[in-house]
Structure 1
């Protein structure tokens, strides 16, 4: 199970003074140690994506700075027939007013991320992400697309228990194209999402996942991403899987978090799904006779988005559902995964 990838244990700058990838930044860590000191303009992408799930509903917040454009989104989904689903996205040409810090949620001294007006009107969005003792506060406000008078207010807390390990890794295409990503899974969450005068509660079975990204990307790229969090087989388990975009780089974004302890998976996983029917079961497996990952993902909802705003074209099919099967951690423990709630996605980006 030991990965071939280099484990970073001390703070390090992502970039050299000329903006190229710092060779010492190549590798992965169990807590955020990279300072993403990106400079200049051109193919530079920065984002924070948080998704908080419960057995009956979820909310996702996105703040992104894509150089020439900023996209800030609030997404709410209630599962099952008749459940509400809505998304409010504010597009900001030139990324005006969106500044994402070099340090990240969970790292000491991280500044707050704040975008949008305090009381948004029309299609505008307010998102605030800030550190508090023991975790991260997530707040957002917008109007529902269906009713210009119904306000959505998000107030959630994503705890980061002492000693809880997360995955941070640098994926290098070359010295001028590279991505630093920090993925947090299985962070206990709590709070409320208010829609008009109704409250959606996030209680004992709520879990937060963070995707923090900083890097310089190719013009066009395809990826898979899967994540899940919850209790299964007597353990608290977080699943973090990526595919396609890391091939040939010598790095992966694959890891298991079991009871707060990270197991880094250095091998590429095999993803199988149907692009003709995204709600058909997916499989995600690792090679070998004793695979670390042997899972089936059964979706119940596809969040399908298509964007074409000139410089950016995006096709995303993010399916929410349940993972079942088996995983094996660094200690050789085999853990039964029984309907662990999460998602798997297939994305094409031209940006």
Structure 2
């Protein structure tokens, strides 16, 4: 198989006509170039995950098709300040659709409308009823000039309506990390991770309205995934966005699931320019105490040397037949230093983001 360290610069299909991984698709790029032409079932997973964070609150939207089940969710987290000094408030609503009914995810990034050179394959995504009740949710991912419109509606478990309307900008020339992770020709994942996308909009919870981006301090992160997965998998994911040391910085870190594949999903986005990190990261944390500090480092260089201090653990434990999920998604702040592609060192001061440990059977 071709080296997965090569940089791709032209559009490419993910799969060959027989559904196996096309060796020409193996590599990484600074903008989305892959058409995820997956066919049928067979451990096929598709999802769009957006998280938009301001200094005191965030909202995360998920639309996913896992073959036998679709999960669409709205997650809201609030806290009082950067230190997370008071107990955060959290609500989440997830709608399940057996066999993915009503969920059709496109071959390219939802809402992209061809802005990344992929024609019109990145069509809009709309799931759920216009006015959801009970445990149902509505999520819209819509392409607009200059970025993506994110809208969502649901009713929180405490009975308050929740409405989201946010625009996640994609400035001209803003680079992102897209990469194919190949276990073999039948098991592979295409992921496109976007960090530090400026965001602006509102989150309404009952009669209260919370703003994103009034002081240019809100950021959107995208996890776009298409692939065919092993039955069981264990991964780390960390991300953060914001301004620090006079720079606009996005952190994109992964681990465990890429070991042995010849590639990583690690990168920095510095003032819109991507720094690719081709080495595996060293993650250190204690799941018996997930709110204790985590460390994330590049063991063979000084590219990444960070301590992540969480203040909240979004803890999920699911046993539902074919699906089992053990997730600790911890939210907090990164401190330390990173080194950009040009060799400059950037001091990281209280950059908000998350780090997670996920074990899936699906």
TM-score band w.r.t. shorter chain: over 0.9
Q: CA deviation at 1:196?
A: 1.2
Match of 1:312 in 2: 323
Q: Alignment partner for residue 161 of structure 2, among 133, 145, 151?
A: 151
Moved over 4 A (4+): none
Question: Is 1:329 the counterpart of 2:301 in the alignment?
Answer: no
Question: May I ask how many residue pairs the two structures share in their alignment?
Answer: 346
Alignment of 1:146-185 (within 5 A): 146-147=158-159, 150-185=160-195
5+ residue gaps, structure 1, are: none
- Per-residue CA deviations over 1:36-81 (Å, capped at 9, x if unaligned) read 0000102000000000001100000000000000000000000143
Q: Alignment partner for residue 349 of structure 2, among 324, 338, 343?
A: 338
Supply the distance in 1 between the matched residues of 2:76 and 2:25 (Cα, whole angstroms). 36
Q: Alignment partner for residue 93 of structure 1, among 98, 106, 111?
A: 98
Checking the alignment, whether the CA contact within 8 Å between 1:181 and 1:214 is kept in structure 2 is yes
Q: CA deviation at 1:83?
A: 4.1
Q: CA deviation at 1:84?
A: 2.5
Q: CA deviation at 1:303?
A: 0.4
Question: Is 1:246 the counterpart of 2:251 in the alignment?
Answer: no
Checking the alignment, whether the CA contact within 8 Å between 2:4 and 2:27 is kept in structure 1 is no
Checking the alignment, whether the CA contact within 8 Å between 1:307 and 1:313 is kept in structure 2 is yes
5+ residue gaps, structure 2, are: 81-85, 115-119
Supply the distance in 1 between the matched residues of 2:294 and 2:260 (Cα, whole angstroms). 23
Instruction: Please state whether the residue corresponding to 2:24 is helix, strand or coil.
Output: helix
TM-score, with length taken from structure 2:
0.94
Match of 1:67 in 2: 67
Question: Is 1:29 the counterpart of 2:1 in the alignment?
Answer: no
Q: CA deviation at 1:179?
A: 0.1
Question: Is 1:214 the counterpart of 2:226 in the alignment?
Answer: yes
Question: Once superposed, what is the RMSD of the aligned Cα atoms?
Answer: 1.1
Q: CA deviation at 1:307?
A: 1.4
